[in-house]
Chain A
Amino acid sequence: MSEGYVEKEILQDVKKFIKKSPQIVVYNGSHWRKVQQNIQHLKTAFKDELKELGAGVIVSSVTSFLTGGAIALPGVLGFATAVVMNALKNKNRAEEKAVMQKLKIPGVYA
């Protein structure tokens, strides 16, 4: 058990909560606003490249996230990297790497 204030009973409630298929996951907070701005920037900057992945790929992948881990990545660009990775999850690793490199997104494959 973690150090902190984790009540066992509530922890069980949390686990039950999560098992009941989260229907809506919403990101909030000032950092998230910056992320949104950056995604907009990415969509504009890599408009042509993203077309190859399918229309609206970034937006749809963001809304399909079920965890908030990405927003804790170091830096907003890191988040965008994870967004693109998520969008590519059904592609094989070679395709994924090729697109990542084409998008010139540093980090994971640097």
Chain B
Amino acid sequence: MIDKEITIAKDFLSIQNKDGEVMFVIMYNDKSSQPDSDAKIIYGDDSPHAVLIKNDDHAIILDFLAEETLKMMKNSKKALVTEIEYNENLIKYNLENKFSKDSLYKLFEFAEAQHALKACYSVKLEKIKNFDERFMKFIDKEIEEI
């Protein structure tokens, strides 16, 4: 049984840079909470989902992970996480810039200027054996409600 508030990250990116480092960019997360220093992302062997345990009270479901993302996670022990509150200005900015090559960096600068960069922290990546048993019931319920 989980006694945390569970939200779902409807949209999120996983990014790997040329040094093999991993970052998750979570958008549309409507609950703000301070991450613990031991925040972690838990995932299982075969599950397409993962859970970000942010603190004692709050967990975020990372649903429908792509194959590439699972591969990134298996090859890394930690990741950076950023949370962006996506607003109309950011949408407009992205449209105007048409996703140019360096737009990711500019997007972060713009998000910061717009006070939309809501969280920035690092997490451990942890694969566990009983992931499905612990989390799938809750994940299925959240997904059904979307």
Binding site for B on A (CB under 8 A): 1-7, 10-11, 13-15, 17-33, 64-74, 82, 85-86, 89, 108
**Beta-carbon contact of A32 and B17 below 8 Å:** no
The answer to whether the Cβ of B65 comes within 8 Å of any Cβ in the partner chain is: yes
Q: Which residues of B contact A (CB under 8 A)?
A: 8-19, 21, 23, 25, 27-28, 32-35, 62-66, 68-69, 72, 80, 82-83, 86, 90-91, 93-95, 98-105, 107-108, 111-112, 115-122, 143, 146
Number of A-B contacts (CB under 8 A): 170
Partner of B27, one of A19, A72, A108: A72
Question: Chain A's nearest CB lies how many Å from the CB of B56?
Answer: 15
The distance in angstroms between the C-alpha atoms of A86 and B94, with both chains bound, is 10
Q: How far is the CA of A100 from the CA of B28 in the complex (A)?
A: 28
6 closest Cβ contacts across the A-B interface?
A69-B94, A4-B118, A72-B86, A20-B17, A68-B13, A24-B16
Tell me if A5 and B34 are in contact (CB < 8 A): yes
Interface SS of B by simple majority: mixed
A68–B25 contact, CB under 8 A? yes
- Which of B80, B91, B143 meets A30, CB within 8 Å? B143
- Distance A22 CA – B21 CA, assembled complex (angstroms): 9
A108: chain B residues within 8 A (beta carbon): 95
Which listed residue (A5, A18, A29) contacts B17, Cβ 8 A? A18
Option from B12, B25, B32, B102 in Cβ contact (under 8 Å) with A4: B32
Q: A14 and B11: CB pair below 8 A? A: no
How far is A4 from B114 in the complex, measured between Cα atoms in Å? Answer: 13
Kindly identify which residue among A6, A29, A82, A86 contacts B64, using a CB–CB cutoff of 8 Å.
A29
Q: Which among A11, A29, A66, A72 is the interface contact of B63 at CB below 8 angstroms?
A: A29
Are B119's CB and A6's CB within 8 A? yes
- Chain A residues lying within 8 Å of B98, measured Cβ to Cβ, are 82, 85-86, 89
B74 to chain A minimum Cβ distance, whole angstroms, is: 14
Contact A21 B11, CB 8 Å, known A5-B118, A6-B118, A66-B103? no
